[in-house]
Structure 1
Amino acid sequence: MAADSPTDYVQHHLQHLTLSIGDGGFWTLNIDTLIFSWVTGLLFLGLFYSVARKMHSGVPGRLQGFIEVLVSFADNTVKDAFHGSRDFLGPLALTIFMWVLFWNLLDLLPVDWVPELAMAMGIPYLRILPSADMNATFGLSITVLLLMITYSVKGKGFAGFGKELLTHPFGKWLAPFNLILNLVETLAKPVSLGMRLFGNLYAAELIFILIALLPWWVQWLPGGAWAIFHILVIPLQAFIFMVLSCVYIGLSYEEH
């Protein structure tokens, strides 16, 4: 993709397709993040739905067997971290893992392909990696925070939830300190969850962009090496996000 300088090239690839609502730009939507989040989510749902419709009790095919392994893997992860009913958290863990995995896989596409296609269609900017957008990763982590609060109230009741905030860990006489400490601890979990995924994928995306600045006949060597390493990072980050989400919700559900 043509650019005036390497700086312009990098800035172009890191620019989102946005839509601002109202004055001041506070309500600004990253349209590309929303589009590719929906696309990857629908791909995940379509894949699993098509396999579920063809599922039978005989010898499973390779795809069915792989899907069954993923379902069992997510369910066992929840089982180890959460001791209540897994009817909701099992599918949630699977959805988190697959959705983040599909997000991350988009980073393996050559960095110029989709932006150049978008420019040919008159779209000036298009960034395809949702997990390199802090809005997307924090959207997921804030959802986990809301589930933490929900399951904390479900497991302890409103009275038990409030009592824990005020009395743990130093007792009722230090209630203000307990409240501050518990609020910081609770908020730190989704912040670290969202920042970890964003930081890893943003750095990976940036390295691919920098490699694309090299002459085409050199790109294959560092690009191939980084892609091979990144193949290990992609499922690892999805796994970490899923496991920590289950652990945080499980810890919120249990009594201290």
Structure 2
Amino acid sequence: MSSTDYISHHLKNLSTPQYDGGFWTLNIDTLVIGWILAGLIAFVSYKVGKNLDPDNPGPLQNALEGILEFVETQVKEMFDGYNPLIGPLALTVFVWIFLMNAMDLIPVDLLPLLAGFVGIEYLKVVPTTDLATTFGLSLSVFALIIFYNIKIKGGFGYFKLFLFHPFQANNTIAKIILMPFNILMTTIEELAKPISMSLRLFGNMFAGELIFLLIALLPWWIQFLPGGIWAIFHILIITLQAYIFMLLTIAYLSVAHQTADEH
């Protein structure tokens, strides 16, 4: 196949055919790989938790404890107050996104080739290069942001943010005049949270995958050097993107836990 056909083939998801790319199309490869990685996290966490040895920890326990302490430090530094959900949520977001991103380090032709042996024509193995994944993650966080805004500030207190933020005034007439502008600006500010989170993660991972595909088009005896260099650099990218998504999750939920006066 041509270079264009090769790239297009690797960027196409294994999807349900009946909706032909419409809204209700399910990207089966994204779902299955995401579920497998989530199951891996749950299984490893269960096994390590069941066999904890504080006196003689193994390498895996040490690694998980290091990740846990790292995430706990970020939560303590950024989250004001206390909510038992925030720590586990931040840990899950960081580890799950990191693992989904890390699928990009598998040679681009390996899994699609193996899938072809069992009759699977398309297989896109990096879930975070699918907008459905990144938007699903960010919208889940956004739902928690709205929930805690209403829970902490009250329904009317949260609504007041749209009326009197970000432009403030000292007299009633000026407040009324500024309300439409405040509603517009605050709505944009709120909607920008899930959009920016999802597009940042998607854009970086999609670009990284595309570079791997371009390297794969080179003759095999040239691929190793640029491929190896990019893979080493990409380890930093996949870690950084998981870290940024986790930090934004903590920061936005911290703001959501502020009272109307604090906000």
Q: The TM-score by the shorter chain falls in which range?
A: over 0.9
1:153 partnered with 2:150:
yes
TM-score between both structures, scaled by the size of structure 2: 0.92
User: How much has 1:23 moved relative to structure 2?
Assistant: 8.2
Structure 1: distance between partners of 2:239 and 2:91: 13
Match of 1:13 among 10, 13, 18: 10
User: How much has 1:84 moved relative to structure 2?
Assistant: 2.6
- 1:131 is matched with 128
1:118 partnered with 2:115:
yes
Structure 2: distance between partners of 1:22 and 1:180: 35
1:165 partnered with 2:162:
yes
Change (3 A) 1:21 1:160: farther
Change (3 A) 1:228 1:23: closer
User: How much has 1:169 moved relative to structure 2?
Assistant: 2.2
Change (3 A) 1:142 1:45: same
User: How much has 1:47 moved relative to structure 2?
Assistant: 1.2
- 1:216 is matched with 220
Structure 1: distance between partners of 2:21 and 2:241: 35
Match of 1:78 among 54, 75, 80: 75
Aligned 8 A contact 1:75 1:86 in 2: no
Please list every run of 5 or more consecutive structure 1 residues that lacks an aligned counterpart in the other structure: none
Structure 1: distance between partners of 2:234 and 2:198: 19
Q: Please list the CA deviations of residues 68-107 of structure 1 after superposition, one character each: whole Å capped at 9, or x if unmatched.
A: 1211221221222222323101000000000000001100
Change (3 A) 1:65 1:23: closer
User: How much has 1:56 moved relative to structure 2?
Assistant: 2.7
Structure 2: distance between partners of 1:239 and 1:22: 35
TM-score between both structures, scaled by the size of structure 1: 0.95
User: How much has 1:20 moved relative to structure 2?
Assistant: 4.3
Secondary structure of residue in 2 paired with 1:83 = coil
Match of 1:206 among 199, 205, 210: 210
- 2:192 is matched with 188
Q: For structure 1, which segment, 6-15 or 53-62, has the greater mean C-alpha deviation from structure 2 after superposition?
A: 53-62
Aligned 8 A contact 1:148 1:248 in 2: yes
CA RMSD of aligned residues (A): 1.4
User: How much has 1:24 moved relative to structure 2?
Assistant: 8.2
1:140 partnered with 2:137:
yes
Secondary structure of residue in 1 paired with 2:112 = helix
Q: For structure 1, which segment, 146-155 or 166-175, has the greater mean C-alpha deviation from structure 2 after superposition?
A: 166-175
Q: For structure 1, which segment, 99-108 or 43-52, has the greater mean C-alpha deviation from structure 2 after superposition?
A: 43-52
1:56 partnered with 2:53:
yes
Structure 2: distance between partners of 1:22 and 1:237: 31
Aligned 8 A contact 1:78 1:86 in 2: no
1:232 partnered with 2:236:
yes
1:178 partnered with 2:182:
yes
Q: Please list the CA deviations of residues 145-189 of structure 1 after superposition, one character each: whole Å capped at 9, or x if unmatched.
A: 111111111221112111112111224322111111111001111
User: How much has 1:196 moved relative to structure 2?
Assistant: 0.6
Aligned 8 A contact 1:115 1:127 in 2: yes
Structure 2: distance between partners of 1:228 and 1:164: 45
Taking only the aligned residue pairs, the percentage that are identical comes to: 50
